[in-house]
Chains A and B, each alone.
Chain A
């Protein structure tokens, strides 16, 4: 399947920024007069987005503090066959093991929690890499235009012409298995979308008088981009990057499912599903529960992204 071209929030967010500048982005009952203050006020009213934020914070806290309590209460998530827990192999969910145990007798909840660490880090780091490359490429293409625009956008076309899953797998095959390489592969391949979003955002901001004014006052290109253009197109980048985190988590789970992600015995949600697949007929929860972890986390990032888009986008809000 392919991802549809995202509705680009750039133009509308820009309208918001301009409106905010003229003090026109008034939201009933809100005191704030800044773009982000208004956006925050609107986001607070979106119950789904708040639920998503709460879930993301919960997952982050559980994953970050896992070392302090998970091995003690649920058991070692990376025990091996030599630890001799075969007697506890594939137990059904119970109070002691809420998600049951796997073939080697390891607690599945503990493995899901440690898997959350991998997923969150992959989501954030690879989105960070994609965003950074995408911003630089998008800025070069939009600001300098001409030959730069042609080269960069054709390069983006090339990356997008390649079937995505296949491209990631080939990248991993070239640079080797392992979680760092998953960051790099997903990160590098994600730049064209961000570059396109940023490029169109810049193009819509660039024609404004205040950019001409800054140039007339002798501001350098870098200063114009970082001080004038970037703040006025950052809304669309934030929305896009938030949604991208969910996509990166899905891609990591697919790679780990195929055995190209984390190296065993480290757990990842994708490897847990792969392990569980063999016992589909007898212990289906081994496959279902890690999938629910992916679903809830990716859904949270999507809902947060939707909420941010609505909050930062006055035009859509009024429609």
Chain B
């Protein structure tokens, strides 16, 4: 077997494997489009659901989902980033505390989401008296996505070249100054990847939200109202509502589009911020 033959073999195998990976995605998209496209339209996005979701649209659910995500990220990102900075910048990497926190985070990221649902229900809804509300749901989701944000942020902080820190120290920058001007901007694409991961998980989550944010189809007036997220709606239409398949598929298409928009905007936002901090304000 000569070199070109081997190259050719690798190319073909690699291509086939990529196709194999993409096949489920394409098949799923095809199915969703076939079922959901006839329903999809501006009216679907702008009207309230009726008849348990078998007719009408998803307008209140878009608002509920947005609020839940907002609560979740505005709690999980600062706390997670802070924890990552503490782990990476203030603790020695092999200290007992650092390893202990790391281990608990890894355990936390392996906990099934239904546990976070029951925990959130018991703690936020019952004990703290927040009830079935967007606030309970967002906080429970924040607990669930926290380990992802901490772990990815910590890795990208650790990947900042040591030379950058040494240069900053040579210029006698304070710890905070170095963090704000050098380390965080350099690590921001990796941190953004963690936030993207968390956003995707949060938008696709049902088990946590059924028990916390709830099932109410009405448009929420405040974060203390219950509101149904898109993923919960899809789950309900697929399992409990006879004749809900096409509206469920259309909702799934909207959710996919939302995830796409959310992830690209987080990524480009982080890119812009990092460029602004590192280049323009030299």
Are the chains A and B members of one assembly?
A: no
